[in-house]
Copies of this chain bind each other. A is one copy, B any other.
Amino acid sequence: MSKPLVVVKIGGNVIDDDDNLTSFLKRFAQIPGKKMLVHGGGRVASDMAAQLGIPVEMVEGRRVTSAETLKVVTMVFAGLVNKKIVAGLQAENCNAFGLCGADGSSMLAERRIVKDLDYGFVGDVTAVDISAIESMLENDMVPVFAPITHDGNGTLLNTNADTVATELAIALAMDYHVQLQYCFEKTGVMLDADNENSLIEEISPDEYQILKEDGVITDGMIPKMDNAFQALQNGVRRVLIGHADNVLLNAVGRKVGTEITRDRVNN
């Protein structure tokens, strides 16, 4: 029987605030059994780019990763944020170990090819090698993954952290019984963004289509939901979107947030 594994992704707003991060790391460290963390970089990278006078380039509404921006995200994600989290977890007696996609070639990517548009050093995942991560997990270490990948030819690439978490969860689902949590600063997916009591406790693909058509699920939540369904379709057992403060409760089987489910007919 596969062993349980909790894969947690934390986003920008949890990382940006030191108190929020400390509080999250305390709870995460208490998750029993095997676990790993995937993090983004949040505002820290944008602030650093601004301080260094690196302009934010947008192409059709999307941020471009120039060579200079790639340096900043590599420094901030794989250096500053990753090691701050690792040291913070070590202080909680959680034997964390930081890595990115270049380390052990654990995540290969290729530059996104878009006709007439160049998003720069943005990588779409092409291969995941979980051997180093599994070795850590089997030695009771806790991998902490920064969303930087590489192309195998010496170039680092910037990859979306939700996507990184999803790809890792899917690859690890071959050998583990994986629960995937996307943690952020809200309780979950809301029917009404301004009303904390409007939490959607479960979403199936059919319900998602309706909510998307009705404009209830919009913007940044759409790729997150798409990632969630992709994970479920590829062997991940349980996917939740929830508040970072509820990471431990959700890890031990409670449901405080939005659970993404397969089609009801298939359950």
- Taking Cβ atoms with an 8 Å cutoff, the residues of A that contact B are 48, 51-52, 71, 74-80, 82-84, 86-88, 90-91, 95-100, 102-105, 131-132, 135-136, 139, 141, 148, 150, 152-156
Which B residue's beta carbon lies closest to that of A155?
A: B87
Given contacts A87-B156, A97-B103, A98-B100, could you give 19 more A-B pairs where the C-beta distance is less than 8 Å?
A74-B80, A74-B84, A75-B75, A76-B79, A78-B83, A79-B83, A83-B102, A83-B103, A84-B156, A86-B103, A87-B102, A95-B105, A97-B104, A98-B103, A99-B99, A132-B136, A132-B139, A135-B135, A135-B139
Which B residue's beta carbon lies closest to that of A88?
A: B154
Complex alpha-carbon distance, A191 and B113, angstroms: 56
Known contacts A98-B102, A104-B97; decide if A75 and B80 are in contact (CB<8 Å).
Answer: yes
Q: Which residues of B contact A77 (CB under 8 A)?
A: 79
- Asked whether A156 lies within 8 Å of B83 as measured between CB atoms, the reply is yes
Contact of A82 among B78, B132, B150 (CB under 8 A): B78
Which B residue's beta carbon lies closest to that of A108?
A: B90
- Asked whether A79 lies within 8 Å of B75 as measured between CB atoms, the reply is yes
Complex alpha-carbon distance, A90 and B148, angstroms: 14
Known contacts A75-B80, A78-B82, A86-B103; decide if A97 and B156 are in contact (CB<8 Å).
Answer: no
Which B residue's beta carbon lies closest to that of A141?
A: B104
- Asked whether A97 lies within 8 Å of B148 as measured between CB atoms, the reply is no
Q: Which residues of B contact A83 (CB under 8 A)?
A: 74, 78-79, 100, 102-103, 148, 156
- Asked whether A154 lies within 8 Å of B91 as measured between CB atoms, the reply is yes
Complex alpha-carbon distance, A24 and B77, angstroms: 26
- Asked whether B51 lies within 8 Å of A90 as measured between CB atoms, the reply is no
Which B residue's beta carbon lies closest to that of A131?
A: B139
Residue of A52, A83, A99 contacting most chain B CB atoms (<10 Å)? A83
Complex alpha-carbon distance, A100 and B95, angstroms: 13
Complex alpha-carbon distance, A154 and B136, angstroms: 21
Nearest Cβ on chain B to A29's Cβ, whole angstroms: 11
Which B residue's beta carbon lies closest to that of A25?
A: B154
Q: Which residues of B contact A86 (CB under 8 A)?
A: 102-103, 150
Which B residue's beta carbon lies closest to that of A156?
A: B87
Contact of A105 among B51, B75, B90 (CB under 8 A): B90
Contact of A153 among B91, B104, B141, B154 (CB under 8 A): B91
Complex alpha-carbon distance, A218 and B66, angstroms: 43
Q: Which residues of B contact A48 (CB under 8 A)?
A: 75
Nearest Cβ on chain B to A54's Cβ, whole angstroms: 10
Known contacts A74-B80, A79-B75, A105-B95; decide if A87 and B154 are in contact (CB<8 Å).
Answer: yes
